[in-house]
Structures are given as structure tokens and as C-alpha cells.
Amino acid sequence: MSSMEPKEDPTTVMISDCGDSSDWLKYKKDGQLLNAEPGGRQSITAEVKRQPSGAWMVTRFAVMGVGTC
């Protein structure tokens, strides 16, 4: 977790983490291999907000480029 707002009783939480797609390859819709270049480590950020019902919902999600983590 990278931040909470407000700190006393948070309704918004920002989460930062790393993802690893080193063993993944990209394919076209028809199933053909796009290229043989594997992914790598990528920075991931998510904003999670508490809803009026009390449930938490991801409201923003971002995966940055390979090499950002």
C-alpha cells in the first residue's frame, strides 16, 4: 500500500506493486505469435475506493512499460 486518504478512516487507497511478465509472449487475435520477445518487470498502480455499500472497488488500474520496476 502506498497511501491512504484520509489516514484515520480511509475511503481511498493507492496500491503500488511490481508484476513480472518475463515468461509471457504476445499473440495476435488469430493466435499467431506477434513476436518472440518476452515481457519483464512492470510497475502496477491501483486506486481502490470504498463504496457507499461498504465494499471496496478498484477505480483505476495502470500497468506501466517493461523495465519500470
Q: pTM of the full predicted structure?
A: 0.73
Q: Is the pLDDT at 1 greater than 80, yes or no?
A: no
Number of domains, the chain: 1
Rounded to an integer, the average pLDDT of 12-37 is 93
Q: Report the distance separating Cα 13 and Cα 4, nearest Å.
A: 5
Q: Report the distance separating Cα 17 and Cα 3, nearest Å.
A: 13
What residues make up the domain containing 32?
3-66
pLDDT of residue 18: 96
Closest C-alpha among 36, 28, 21, 30 to residue 69: 21
Q: Report the distance separating Cα 45 and Cα 36, nearest Å.
A: 27
pLDDT of residue 2: 84
pLDDT digits (tens, 9 = 90+) for 32-68: 999 888 889 999 999 999 999 999 999 999 999 999 9
